């Protein structure tokens, strides 16, 4: 028996998405840059995909560029901010994804940049007064990069509040929206933002494909050179069936957004209550209210003596969860997010459970019982 509760890392491919992709893996294989009929057919599929995404986000098709995913997209935005827009100051937080933090560190080594980190509280929430003070007198030489939702603890960012601060101070605003695209509505005509990113595998699409939205008010240079694909923004033959899968996945996600949200929210609430009933000393990392991803629950088991090997023992029992970001799982440094909000909360005793529409309440019951067996039994845990 295998129970998958690591959906913040990646999600199961929806069978309907696979069905949409298969014709472009077998029959419609023409190069989209070719002028013959097979090329024109695949080019048309890519542009239909672009239009679907633009319609969902309420933006222009000319503002959507396909990439390999969130990491490439975030890199492209930050590098262009410095090299093309002339940004000399970056404002971010210490709980961003490493593809943001490491890119900023690299840029700071190469250019004369000021990097400032906005204060966060003990739950991981942004201090908006501090952000406002950091943004003063920016004059379009500053970019604010803050994620829409934290991938480890689930905290949601008030995008409208950040947008207002940036707009009032002439800052560029970029947001890593990888965890919220496909799960929350975003209207890019209402929320003034210069760039966001998405990755298909976070909402039941294929891995290795994503997109970035770049507002028409700004102009970027290519991150990859060599061809005219993506309107000269990203050279290389397009990931055709990946793009088709991305468009299918995002369309399904938004067609069923409210019903899926209600269902998954119930699972999260049910699981949290069951855990707290069984383990009253467990602490929830991050926000404990509705200002949190309905897909993510990060729990600190450090009050229990058998918590050190808990993640490993869950894996042995066939339960897939995470200690933090999947992109950092091979490192021994621990969670930089948990360390940033509490230096004593980085001992490997916290587990992130993340849910999807494919999970069931009976699975969660099994996990709770297995946790009781591992944590509360008198026998030693191996």
Cα(247)–Cα(48) distance, rounded to whole angstroms? 8
Of 92, 94, 167, 105, the closest CA to residue 131 belongs to 92
Element (H, E) at 159: helix 159-168
Of 247, 210, 218, 205, the closest CA to residue 62 belongs to 218
Cα(325)–Cα(9) distance, rounded to whole angstroms? 7
Name every residue whose Cβ is closer than 8 Å to that of residue 301 and which is 6 or more positions away in sequence. 279, 282, 307, 310, 349, 350, 351, 375
Among residues 59, 99, 320, 327, the one annotated as catalytic is: 327
* Tokens representing residue 90 in the block: 């970056």
94 DSSP assignment = T
Catalytic annotation present for 327: yes
Cα(233)–Cα(57) distance, rounded to whole angstroms? 20
Cα(337)–Cα(57) distance, rounded to whole angstroms? 29
- Name the burial class of residue 377, with classes exposed (0-12), middle (13-18) and buried (19+) by CB atoms within 10 angstroms of its CB: exposed
- The DSSP bridge partners found for residue 211 are 66, 198
* Cβ proximity of 77 and 63 under 8 Å: no
- The DSSP bridge partners found for residue 155 are 292
Buried b (16+ CB within 10 A) or exposed e, 311-349: bebbeebebbbbbbbeebeeeeebbbbbbbbeeebbebb
The residue behind tokens 């699409």 is 205
Beta strands in 218-345 (DSSP E): 283-285, 296-300, 319-320
* Enzyme catalytic residues: 327
């Amino acid at each position: 028996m295998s129970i998958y509760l690591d959906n913040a890392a990646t999600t199961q491919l929806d069978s309907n998405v696979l069905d949409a992709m298969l014709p472009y893996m077998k029959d419609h294989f023409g190069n989209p840059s070719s002028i013959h009929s097979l090329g024109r057919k695949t080019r048309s599929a890519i542009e239909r995909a672009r239009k679907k995404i633009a319609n969902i986000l309420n933006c222009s098709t000319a503002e959507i560029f396909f990439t390999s995913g969130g990491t490439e997209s975030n890199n492209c935005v930050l590098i262009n901010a410095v090299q093309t827009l002339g940004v000399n100051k970056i404002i971010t937080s210490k709980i961003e994804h490493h593809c943001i933090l490491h890119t900023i560190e690299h840029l700071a080594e190469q250019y004369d940049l000021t990097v400032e980190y906005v204060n966060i509280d003990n739950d991981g929430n942004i201090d908006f007064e501090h952000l406002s003070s950091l943004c003063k007198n920016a004059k379009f030489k500053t970019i604010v990069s803050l994620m829409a939702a934290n991938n480890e603890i689930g905290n949601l960012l008030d995008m409208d509040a950040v947008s207002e601060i940036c707009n009032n101070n002439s800052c560029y605003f970029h947001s890593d929206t990888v965890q919220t695209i496909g799960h929350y509505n975003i209207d890019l005509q209402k929320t003034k933002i210069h760039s966001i990113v998405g990755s298909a595998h976070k909402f039941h699409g294929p891995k290795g494909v994503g997109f970035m939205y770049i507002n028409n008010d700004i102009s970027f240079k290519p991150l990859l050179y060599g061809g005219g694909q993506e309107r000269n923004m990203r050279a290389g033959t397009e990931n055709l069936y990946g793009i088709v899968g991305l468009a299918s996945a995002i369309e399904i996600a938004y067609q069923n957004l409210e019903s899926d949200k209600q269902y998954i929210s119930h699972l999260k609430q049910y699981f949290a209550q069951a855990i707290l009933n069984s383990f009253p000393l467990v602490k929830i990392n991050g926000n404990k209210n509705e200002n949190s991803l309905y897909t993510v629950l990060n729990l600190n088991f450090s009050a229990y003596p058998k918590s050190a090997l808990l993640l490993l023992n869950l894996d042995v029992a066939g339960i897939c969860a995470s200690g933090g970001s999947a992109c950092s799982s091979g490192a021994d440094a621990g969670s930089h997010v948990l360390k940033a909000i509490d230096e004593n909360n980085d001992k490997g005793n916290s587990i992130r459970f993340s849910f999807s529409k494919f999970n069931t309440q009976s699975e969660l019951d099994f996990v709770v019982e297995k946790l009781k067996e591992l944590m509360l039994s008198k026998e030693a845990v191996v």
